[in-house]
Amino acid sequence: MRFTLPAFIFLFICTAASAQVTLSGKITDQSGNSVPFASIYVKTTTKGTSANSEGEYTLKLQPGRYEILYRAVGYKQESRAVDLKTNTVLNITLNAEVYQLSDVTISAKGEDPAYAIIRKAVRRRKAHLNEIKAYTCDVYIKGLQKLVAAPKKFMGADINQIGREIGLDSNRRGIVYLSESQSKLSYKYPGQLHEEMVSSKFSGSNRMFSFNRATDAKVNFYENFQDWQGLSNRPLVSPVSDNALFYYKYKLMGTSTENGVLINKIRVTPKRGHDPCFDGFIYIIDGSWRIYALDLYITSRANINFADTLRINQQFMPVDSNRWLQSSNKFEFSGGLFGFRLKGYFISVYKDYDLNPTFKKHEFNELLNIPQKVNKNDTAFWNRERPIPLTEEERTDYRKKEKLAAKRETKAYLDSLDKATNKVTPTGLVLTGINIIDRYKHAFYHLDPLVTSIQYNTVEGPVLNYGFSYRKQADSNSRKFVSFGAKVRYGFSNHLFNASANTTLPVGNFYLNLGGGTDVVDLNNHEPISPFVNSVYTLFERENYEKLYQKKFLAASLSGRITGGWQASASVEWADRKWLPNTSGYSFFHPGDHAFTSNNPLTQAVDHPLFPQNQSFKVTLRTTYDFSNKYETYPFGRRYLPSEYPTIGLTFTKGIKNIFGSAVDYDLLAADISKQDISLGMYGRTSFFVGAGKFLNANSLYYPDFKQFSGNQVTFYKSGINSFLLLDYYQFSTPDQYIEAHAEHNFSGFITNKIPLIRKLKLQEIVDFNYLSTPQLKNYMELGVGLQYFGFRVMYGTSFNSGSNIKNGLRVGVSF
């Protein structure tokens, strides 16, 4: 290749301009102790970095003269002028900040002057929240979690063996999560975010991508509440929220001056220890009344879940003459459960803000983008690009687990894991089922447990209902799958043998399901009572709630997402349906006031056929739209996010006569609207479901074609937003029109958290209201109140019909 002199000069200039030098060092306090996670940035710019947990830092810059600022909460800022020509080491000592109270006076009312400052900050809250209309920035996140204690065994699993596989020491201690990510974060008012992950490194895997998310780490205390679901049942109150003075006490610790601005250091303390509030310090700039920095923590005293303590440290920097944004954000936590103890941190560093960005059309429809090759950068890349130096412990973890990662991808290693885990045990055979995994081929086999496969009902007597399933990842680059399932069923009293099978296949963005065979199924297509619960009630209480019929069928369905929040499905089914009589009257016990009823729910005293044997051919079309155009893109495909608006649905079912002997002729049109977990701030969350429908044509149909409802008649029930607490399973199914409505409010501990001792149980108060109207039932209403612990709930319900009380009862359910 031939170079001219101008081309050579141009190449030399470009190479020189792209060369960077490194400023590095260690930050300590006056006693020589490391100052972890201090902020370092270039004055009048948004270029910067953070020290690591041992106070070490690196900052890559073009050669030139700079003024470098060193900051850490609780320390006096230091400034150094540097002339960078080559790599330079500069160690810094930070002195503890001294906050003066000499000019502070207590008001005539005896109120600490901090209250006046906070009131001004609260009045300016919305202005600071909304002052920046758009920006982009680069975000680096490092996350580390360490297991500091663990039992030797847990639920039969050998934790020592698992620990060796994931790189823990002989005491089951060590790093269980270490990951770094670099992202480009975009913001557009109001509250729209887009994150493009640029690179990702995950210790222990060459294929996984980081769970670090700049969109998750973005915490804004100018918002009234921090809604950290999972960590706390209730939203956490910001110290500068509109109603902060109801929740917090404030004390001015003093003032200091940095970069020409006066900083007020204020101690914040919850007025009531059990409220979802923070302890710690918040630093407010005098005059603009904005947050300069904060160092807050919350403990298990405030009834947070899993963590004993969570500390958050934020620092801000000016991005122009009168606007500030985050420079760093750090979460530290410790906690545990079931004998496992964990601690760790997530540190985010923000730099290179652009307040006048240009965005692509529809860019903010995508909240997160993680491209296919995001985790392919090598060690040299990360040594060059990571802004926060690794500690020796982190370097060791990467080296050690890099070898484990390569080993884990070999067929021999995966086969050895399969051999160790694919064991048939009595416990598995009876309680959990038999699970066989082929990790190399991404295949999974499952045989049902006997505890749920051996059933009893009055129609078939003792029943063996045993199933098998197979599932395999369709390809290595997506989460699409193919599956196959089959089961056999035999009733030892009526001597009926049934067998059925189904398969699911990906077809583009849709899934095709094919099924057929014979089966004995519930007359209520919601299957409101499980065969296991019905077996218990039948054998022990002599109450046979479940009503059954035999169905021979062929069915096919196609379902998937058409676009955005629009989903649809279409299904077709031919069935030969036969009502079955009771053939067994056995039970372990014979309570005097209990007697078995007919398998005909409408004539419970007489086993009269509910319907004649018939054939049906029906087509069902279903579509829903949730008004959401938000999604996340992963290497395996898109994940659509729930909308803040309700989901609407429309269903049309047509029974068609004279096709393959079909005797049905009807048209059912139904619509519904629903929304779950509508946040009401400190007052909890609300969910609702409203549905209505009408048979436009009911020329010929049978009981299985009726509109069924998810009722409940037993103590242990299957809870859900569109379920009833006390409604009969079968009595009020309708071949006419109907309207049903359900509302549930979870107070998230708003009431129980105010009761001493009880608050430690972290209970959530639940209020349910259910309504149903049909030509037969008129106005049926239920009111339920109860308590929930995680997904387990106890409810007391009472029902009314046109003003008269029908029944009441205690219900125990599971809601996950």
Estimate to the nearest angstrom the gap between the alpha carbon of 737 and the chain centroid.
37
Query: 293 is written with which tokens?
Result: 């920095």
Q: What are the distances in angstroms from CA 362 to CA 138, 405, 637, 646?
A: 21, 38, 18, 22
Provide CB contacts within 8 A for 155, sequence distance 6+: none
- Stretch 611-620: mean pLDDT: 97
Q: What are the distances in angstroms from CA 368 to CA 329, 442, 720?
A: 19, 26, 31
The pLDDT, as a whole number, for residue 651 is 98
The pLDDT, as a whole number, for residue 755 is 85
Residue 805: burial class (beta carbons within 10 Å; 0-12, 13-18, 19+): exposed
At 786, phi and psi to the nearest 5?
-175, -170
Of the given ranges (398-407, 628-637, 736-745), which has the lowest mean pLDDT?
Answer: 398-407
Strands 443-447 and 461-473: antiparallel
The proportion of the chain whose per-residue pLDDT surpasses 70, expressed as a percent, equals: 95
Contact 673, 648 (CB under 8 A): yes
Q: Is the dihedral of CA 363, 368, 372, 378 positive or negative?
A: positive
- Stretch 783-791: mean pLDDT: 90
User: Per-residue pLDDT for 7 more than 60?
Assistant: no
At 333, phi and psi to the nearest 5?
-150, 155
C-alpha–C-alpha distance, residues 90 and 79, integer Å: 12
Q: Share the mean pLDDT of the chain.
A: 89
Query: 84 is written with which tokens?
Result: 């960078």
Estimate to the nearest angstrom the gap between the alpha carbon of 486 and the chain centroid.
32
Strand partners, 673: 648, 690
Q: What is the DSSP letter of 319?
A: S
Q: What is the DSSP letter of 164?
A: H
C-alpha–C-alpha distance, residues 801 and 781, integer Å: 6
Helix (H) or strand (E) holding 437: strand 434-438
User: Per-residue pLDDT for 229 more than 80?
Assistant: no
Q: How many helices (H) and strands (E) does the chain have?
A: 12, 44
Strand ranges, E, within 205-271: 225-226, 236-237, 248-258, 261-270
- Stretch 34-59: mean pLDDT: 91
- The secondary structure of 107-159 as a DSSP string is -TT---THHHHHHHHHHTHHHHHHS--EEEEEEEEEEEEEEEE--SEETTEEH
Of the given ranges (290-304, 474-488, 618-632), which has the lowest mean pLDDT?
Answer: 474-488
- Local confidence band at 171 (pLDDT 50, 70, 90 cut-offs): confident
Contact 486, 476 (CB under 8 A): no
Give the three-class secondary structure for 510.
Answer: strand
User: Per-residue pLDDT for 157 more than 60?
Assistant: yes
User: Per-residue pLDDT for 670 more than 90?
Assistant: yes
The pLDDT, as a whole number, for residue 311 is 92
User: Per-residue pLDDT for 635 more than 60?
Assistant: yes
**Look-up of token digits 């409604």:** 727
- Give rounded-to-5 percent helix, strand, coil for the chain: 15, 45, 40
Digit-coded pLDDT (tens) for 547-587: 999 999 999 999 999 988 999 999 999 999 999 999 999 99
Query: 724 is written with which tokens?
Result: 């009833």
Q: What are the distances in angstroms from CA 324 to CA 3, 135, 148, 422?
A: 48, 12, 38, 56
Contact 581, 459 (CB under 8 A): yes
Residue 365: burial class (beta carbons within 10 Å; 0-12, 13-18, 19+): middle
Q: What is the DSSP letter of 735?
A: S
Q: Is the dihedral of CA 424, 428, 434, 438 positive or negative?
A: negative
- At 237, the amino acid letter reads V
Q: What is the DSSP letter of 429?
A: I
Among 283, 241, 237, smallest CA distance to 262 is for 283
The pLDDT, as a whole number, for residue 674 is 97
Digit-coded pLDDT (tens) for 697-748: 999 999 999 999 999 999 988 888 989 999 999 999 999 999 999 999 999 8
Query: 748 is written with which tokens?
Result: 């998230």
The pLDDT, as a whole number, for residue 104 is 54
- At 71, the amino acid letter reads R
The pLDDT, as a whole number, for residue 18 is 46
Contact 346, 137 (CB under 8 A): no
Contact 428, 434 (CB under 8 A): yes
Contact 216, 193 (CB under 8 A): no
Contact 177, 204 (CB under 8 A): no
- Local confidence band at 814 (pLDDT 50, 70, 90 cut-offs): confident
Most confident of 68-82, 260-274, 654-668: 654-668
C-alpha–C-alpha distance, residues 446 and 321, integer Å: 63
- Local confidence band at 756 (pLDDT 50, 70, 90 cut-offs): confident
User: Per-residue pLDDT for 129 more than 80?
Assistant: yes
The pLDDT, as a whole number, for residue 102 is 60
Q: Is the dihedral of CA 395, 396, 400, 405 positive or negative?
A: negative
- Stretch 671-680: mean pLDDT: 94
Estimate to the nearest angstrom the gap between the alpha carbon of 791 and the chain centroid.
14
The pLDDT, as a whole number, for residue 19 is 64
Give the three-class secondary structure for 495.
Answer: coil
User: Per-residue pLDDT for 610 more than 80?
Assistant: yes
- Local confidence band at 339 (pLDDT 50, 70, 90 cut-offs): confident
- Local confidence band at 659 (pLDDT 50, 70, 90 cut-offs): very high
The pLDDT, as a whole number, for residue 152 is 80
Contact 471, 487 (CB under 8 A): no
C-alpha–C-alpha distance, residues 280 and 117, integer Å: 16
- At 279, the amino acid letter reads D
Digit-coded pLDDT (tens) for 422-432: 888 888 899 88
Q: What is the DSSP letter of 540?
A: I
- The secondary structure of 364-409 as a DSSP string is GGEEEE--TTTT---HHHHHHH-SSPPPHHHHHHHHHHHHHHHHHT
Q: What is the DSSP letter of 548?
A: E
C-alpha–C-alpha distance, residues 266 and 284, integer Å: 8
- Stretch 248-256: mean pLDDT: 94
Higher pLDDT, 95 or 420: 95
Of the given ranges (302-311, 381-390, 503-512), which has the lowest mean pLDDT?
Answer: 302-311
User: Per-residue pLDDT for 209 more than 70?
Assistant: no
C-alpha–C-alpha distance, residues 807 and 434, integer Å: 42
C-alpha–C-alpha distance, residues 500 and 488, integer Å: 7
Helix (H) or strand (E) holding 328: strand 324-337
25: left (phi over 0), alpha (psi -120 to 50) or beta: left
**Look-up of token digits 């065979």:** 517
The pLDDT, as a whole number, for residue 423 is 84
The pLDDT, as a whole number, for residue 17 is 39
User: Per-residue pLDDT for 120 more than 90?
Assistant: yes
Query: 536 is written with which tokens?
Result: 């218990």
The proportion of the chain whose per-residue pLDDT surpasses 90, expressed as a percent, equals: 62
- At 414, the amino acid letter reads L
Domains and CATH numbers, the chain: 19-94 (2.60.40.10), 132-222+339-409 (no CATH), 664-816 (no CATH)
